Amino acid sequence: MTGYGRSQMIINGRDILVEIRSVNHRYYEYNSRVPRTYNYIDEKLKALLKSGISRGKVDVSVSINNIEGRDTEIAINKGVADGYVKADRASVANPPLSMTSIFLCLSIPVLLRESAAK
């Protein structure tokens, strides 16, 4: 009951990669890695796999990347960014934000929002 599957498709300007790994296990055990913005599909994935798999440890990995940037706008979540700036400036031990710390802040997932272009 050990298996591995991988599929990659481009749908609506998004590169979608799904990998499923399973190993023999007495009970059905589900684990997933889905991008935070797509967490709502996690329960649907779990139910879909449960309908076809009666037992085993199943690991699912989903990766979704925009390849067409023209239908996407990126905006900074100013509330979160302001909070990080205030925290940095309040720290006596650290000087105000440098370019390095700005780039580190940009790596925080909740700092950026992605939406369809208007």
SS3 80: helix
Q: Which residue has the tokens 């009970």?
A: 27
For the full predicted model, state whether its pTM sits above 0.85.
no
DSSP 38: G
Q: If you search the block for the tokens 């609506």, which residue do you land on?
A: 12
- Mean pLDDT in consecutive groups of 10 residues from the start of the chain, 118 residues: 87 88 91 88 90 90 80 73 72 57 65 60
Burial of 20-57, coded b for 16+ CB within 10 Å and e otherwise, reads bbbeeeeeeebebebeeeeeeeeeebbeebeeeeeebb
